[in-house]
Amino acid sequence: MKEFIKKYEDTVEESLIDKLSPTDSRGKPYDGISHYTLSEMSLGFTRKSPSVTATGRENRRPYRKACYGSNNKLKPGWSKTLTNLLSDVVATKDDIACIFQVVVGGGAQARLGKASINSIAHRDAQLSGIVFDLFRGEDDESIKAADEFGHRFELDVVNAHQTAYPKVMAQWASHGDLDMNKQEVWEKYFDKPDTYHRLRRIKKDVDPDDIFHSRFTVRPSTE
């Protein structure tokens, strides 16, 4: 973390760098040597200040987000295309900040899926997801730049190198049309129709009137 900040902010004082660094349960920055539990690190990096705002957001500004995975091997040129895009985001003079993650799949995640003890989808995905979240200012130039970077990610990275139809999307990174009643929506989040329809039957049993409802929740089965 310190090296990353120093690379782009040479004038940042050491005391400020420590304040920007995620902290452990004792309030001290991670030293890169000690051992920490995964649960503690998850809390430090994604759920508490200074890594996120007081309300749990990564950035206070308006955002444009995206997250797509792939059931297929990534096509040649994927890493170079993504790297070029990220370099352009870093170099832009517009008020744009980017958070990206690359989450690989398969392995133990795929093996656990054979037990069929829960409904987590896309366990066998080559790439569980790449997050590309853009936070922007509210001026016209920054809004336009965020849209352009977002389009480049979807067209040049995802469509050209990453995945085939239907797209692989993670429920924890949902975006776009969220109406789970539409096939073109739910098939992106559930790789097996049987899983989706089984959840609808469960919903019918436990909540037939759909009291616990949002556009992104599975509807009760009508069968």
Q: What is the pLDDT of residues 166-214, one digit of tens each?
A: 888 988 889 999 999 999 999 999 988 998 999 999 999 999 999 999 9
Domain extent for 221: 177-223
pLDDT exceeds 80 at position 17: no
Total number of domains constituting the chain = 3
Most confident segment among 5-14, 120-129, 141-150: 141-150
pTM of the predicted structure, to 2 decimals: 0.72
- Describe the crossing of helices 78-91 and 140-152 by its angle, rounded to 10 degrees: 170
| Residue 136 in tokens | 């922007």
Q: How many alpha carbons fall within 13 Å on the CB side of residue 220? A: 12
pLDDT exceeds 60 at position 14: no
- What proportion of the chain, given as a percentage, has pLDDT over 90? 45
User: For position 2, what pLDDT does the model report?
Assistant: 47
pLDDT exceeds 50 at position 139: yes
Distances 82 to 124, 128, 150, 151 between C-alpha atoms, Å: 23, 16, 12, 13
Same domain? 145 vs 181:
no
Quote the mean pLDDT of the chain.
82
Q: Could you tell me which of 132, 131, 110 has the C-alpha nearest to residue 121? A: 110
Between 115 and 192, where is the model more confident?
A: 192
CA pair distance 63, 84, nearest whole angstrom: 21
Name the β-bridge partners of 70.
127
Between 50 and 114, where is the model more confident?
A: 114
Same domain? 78 vs 159:
yes
Same domain? 64 vs 53:
no
User: For position 46, what pLDDT does the model report?
Assistant: 66
Same domain? 64 vs 39:
no
User: For position 77, what pLDDT does the model report?
Assistant: 94
Same domain? 164 vs 77:
yes
User: For position 24, what pLDDT does the model report?
Assistant: 64
Residue pLDDT, tens place only, 35-76: 888 777 777 666 666 666 767 677 778 889 999 988 888 899
CA pair distance 181, 215, nearest whole angstrom: 8
Domain boundary among 124, 147, 169: 169
| Residue 79 in tokens | 């890493």
Q: Could you tell me which of 89, 78, 170 has the C-alpha nearest to residue 129? A: 170
pLDDT exceeds 50 at position 78: yes
Residue pLDDT, tens place only, 87-112: 999 999 999 999 888 888 777 777 77
User: For position 115, what pLDDT does the model report?
Assistant: 66
Between 84 and 4, where is the model more confident?
A: 84
Same domain? 162 vs 149:
yes
At residue 80 the predicted structure's pLDDT band, cuts being 50, 70 and 90, is very high
pLDDT exceeds 60 at position 16: no
Same domain? 50 vs 96:
no
